[in-house]
Amino acid sequence: MSKIIIDEEKIDKFLERGVAGIFPSKEALKTKLMSGERLTIYQGFDPTGPYLHVGHAIGIRALKILQDLGHEVIFLVGDFTSKIGDPDKGSTRKVLTDEEIEKNMSNWKKQATQLIDFKGENAVKFERNNKWLSKLKLEDILKLMSNFTIQQILQRDLFKKRLKEDIPLKLHEIIYPLMQGYDGVAMGVDMEIGGADQIFNMLVGRDLSKIYLNKEKFVRANKMMDAPDGITMSKTKGNGINLGDDASQMFGKAMSYPDSAILNGLELLTDISMDEIKNIETKIKTGENPMRFKKLMAYEIVKSIKGKKEASVAQENWENTFSKKETPENVDEFIVESGMLLMEALVSNKIVSSNNDFRRLVEEGAITHKEEDKKITDVKEVVINGVYKIGKKRFCKIIIK
RNA sequence: GCGUCGGUACUCAAGUGGUCAACGAGGGCAGACUGUAAAUCUGCUAGCUUCGGCUUUCGGAAGUUCGAAUCUUCCCCGACGCACCA
């Protein structure tokens, strides 16, 4: 049993920074955290994809604070719930197969290890909710369901929206919040952490904890990593930072965030002090070039995940590539037969998707040979040794066999 | 089971016998401009091409037709409504 540390500064940080809401109240939770009692806290993550991303990192960072304070922290993988899928705005989610879930999960622990400790004296526990949810009988489920009315469940904005817009809403989707809430009951937790989009689900869990365990479950909702103007980072945008990315990729993706995400990113994903962030806000408002601060954000994000050294390298790399337009390090290398057409070489190595794609790029003047500083204009060009640049971001090094 | 409406490229979504590789929007890619971006403007976005064209696509299969994404038949899938549940 590890010792509980009562560090008011850290506790305040946990209660203030990146917080979208605390239930039942910030004050109540503070009293609890100051009491010296060892609490059990968890956040659930549905393995719907192979990577954890920075959105997850926000929660994990919060968990880390609690781990450092000596509390019992559980990293819960929603392997069962992901089979149902947290309802989405547009439609019922695709059901994942067991294989997909296993595959997605396989790297999560490793990725999360970058931010949180699964080893040591006060190790974070890695759990999966399949352990208890798969054992529920219909009887149990009915009992669970009987605690809520349809009216209550339909309070969820998402459900309202789906109904209003006549988008099918299946029965199993509306019990998702109950299952999530049951996780807290099964683990007997004192607190749940989750994204602001999870508030409804987490509050349902609060009710369940009261009903089943007669226990107050605290809820801390994290701010989401969206830019204030609504431009989000996401998989579809291609600029979502995955915890599985290497440092350079992370840096690049962070730099492609809109300016409006800088302050949010600094608050949620770095350890830059809030005073400093306020400062930066003023500076940007008074017309200072935001790029400097975006670089700071990118650096700090990478640092918090990969460490100082890798962050510096990533920054240098990025500056060389984009500011000075040099060739980055670690360019992918491809060995090709001599006499091969450049087109064949690039297509067969899947650097460009088809011959037509290649033709288009040549017409657009998007391909250059770096060493010779020559723009490729002939579709039938034969490959030569060296680095080719395709567009702004793609590089490949060709080595003739 | 009956009925109605649907299934179109990465996504959304037009098209309802030829002018359709298929409008438009989003996304993506590229170029210009910048502070990497974002915003903006421009072009591209099925495959193959000797750049003349050729080939394959509109849930699936078969058919009608000189010609089909568009019509017919059967099948598969979805939504909605109704009925049934002895």
Report ipTM for this prediction.
0.86
Residue numbers in A 359-388, CB below 7 Å of strand B: 359-361, 364-366, 379
Is the shortest CB-to-strand distance from A167 to strand B under 7 Å? no
Nucleotides of B under 7 A from a protein CB: 27-31, 35-38, 43-51, 78-80
More confident of the two residues A227 and A282: A282
3-state secondary structure of A220: strand
> Whole-number Å distance, CA A19 to C1' B41?
41
Q: Which two tokens stand for residue A78?
A: 């929603």
Over range A384-398, report the average pLDDT: 90
Asked if the model's pLDDT at residue A231 lies above 50, the reply is no
CA dihedral A20, A25, A26, A29 (to 10 degrees): -120
Lowest mean pLDDT among A200-214, A251-265, A362-376, A381-395: A251-265
Over range A257-286, report the average pLDDT: 89
| Smallest CA–C1' separation from A168, nucleotide | B79
3-state secondary structure of A231: coil
Is the shortest CB-to-strand distance from A103 to strand B under 7 Å? no
CA A140 to chain centre: 33
| Smallest CA–C1' separation from A229, nucleotide | B38
Is the shortest CB-to-strand distance from A394 to strand B under 7 Å? yes
Among A25-34, A82-91, A379-388, which range has the highest average pLDDT?
Answer: A25-34
> Whole-number Å distance, CA A291 to C1' B41?
23
pTM of the full structure? 0.82
Residue numbers in A 208-247, CB below 7 Å of strand B: 231, 236-238
| Smallest CA–C1' separation from A298, nucleotide | B36
**Beta bridge mates, A42:** A74, A192
Position A230 scores a pLDDT of 47
> Whole-number Å distance, CA A209 to C1' B28?
46
- HSE value, Cβ hemisphere, 13 Å, CA-based, for A108: 25
Is the shortest CB-to-strand distance from A290 to strand B under 7 Å? yes
CA dihedral A25, A197, A245, A183 (to 10 degrees): 70
Over range A69-74, report the average pLDDT: 96
Q: Are A235 and A48 in contact (CB under 8 A)?
A: no
Position A169 scores a pLDDT of 82
Can you count the helices (H) and strands (E) in chain A?
20, 11
Asked if the model's pLDDT at residue A89 lies above 60, the reply is no
How far, in Å, are A99, A215, A288, A393 from residue A49 at the CA level?
A: 12, 33, 38, 25
Position A86 scores a pLDDT of 63
Is the shortest CB-to-strand distance from A341 to strand B under 7 Å? no
Q: What are the start-end ranges of the E strands in A2-88?
A: 19-23, 40-45, 72-77
CB-based contacts of A128, cutoff 8 Å, min separation 6? A76, A77, A78, A79, A80, A105
> Whole-number Å distance, CA A390 to C1' B44?
15
Q: Are A92 and A170 in contact (CB under 8 A)?
A: yes
Q: Are A397 and A333 in contact (CB under 8 A)?
A: yes
> Whole-number Å distance, CA A167 to C1' B64?
38
Measured in degrees and rounded to the nearest 5, phi and psi for residue A266 equal: -65, -40
